[in-house]
Amino acid sequence: MSTPDIEEAGWATAKTLAETLPFIQRYDREIVVIKYGGHAMGEEEVARQFAADAVLLKLLGVHPVVVHGGGPQISRMLDQAGVKSTFVDGLRVTNAATMEIAEMVLSGAINKEIANWITLAGREADVRGVGLSGKDGRLITVTKARRMKDGQPLDLGFVGEPKRVDPQLIQALIHAEQDYVPVIAPIGVSDIGETYNINADTVAGAVAGALKAKRMLLLTDVKGVLDKDGELIREMTVTEAFDAIKTGVATGGMIPKLETAIAAVDGGVEAVVILDGRRPHAMLTELFTPHGAGTLIRK
């Protein structure tokens, strides 16, 4: 690259930084809860990039809190163990054997791997990922999930729904002198200490509400909510999100994501964004540029 080209690139970089400053100030010392899952966490290079971006958020003064899923990984492990699983309304029916494997995969392999990627990405700046589950410090207390079919109750086994999120442990980590990034597995406990599997989107919404997060980012494998013409809807109110579900604009897996977003906003989160986590620097684009990167849902 010639000297004029280098100088031009330098001016372009400076211009970008100057334009980003107001957005950095907007999120200074604010909490951003990130749901990381699905195909967004399926490739090593994507995982490395996600970890690096999470570290950058911390260095820019944002407090990222990561909640992850792991459904495909649980399914693979169940298949290897010869344990069959079924689903009701997107929830995995979880008996004792399935629960044992789910906890091993979620709280063990996946949780520690994500925390380790963040620690590796942040080693020069001493930013560290810390792996947790909802069982640590009774972070997430659950009630047994209930579903009906043909007027009859269905027993989903050890599938829970958040009853209470105690944010003290997370707050202690994010406000510690050391730069920690909490990474939470969607496992919780009942009042009598039983272990339950929880939908990761639901956990992210409950955690974001308890922390009164500035933003919740739902990283997925689609670019956001699409209208009937297949175009991205960049912003929706809660009422419009309800209408999208009722009128069939939102279908399939987008319905529970919108329901999670609505519940999180009603619970005190300023706004929720559904975006494609596979795109390079999707979180940074959403938070620090004027056009964003997905569909934003707010009151």
pLDDT computed for residue 184 by the predictor: 97
- Looking at the predicted structure, is the pLDDT value of residue 17 above 80? no
Q: Give the SS3 label for residue 189.
A: strand
* pLDDT tens digits along 31-83: 999 999 765 566 788 889 999 999 999 999 999 999 998 888 888 888 888 88
pLDDT computed for residue 182 by the predictor: 98
- Looking at the predicted structure, is the pLDDT value of residue 10 above 80? no
Q: Give the SS3 label for residue 227.
A: coil
CB 187 within 8 A of CB 196: yes
Domains of the chain: 29-298 (3.40.1160.10)
Q: What is the Cα Rg of the chain in Å? A: 20
pLDDT computed for residue 219 by the predictor: 92
- Kindly report the pTM of this predicted structure: 0.90
CA distances from 13 to 1, 10, 19, 57, 182 (A): 16, 5, 10, 18, 31
CB 280 within 8 A of CB 259: no
Cα–Cα distance, 51 to 69 (Å, whole number): 15
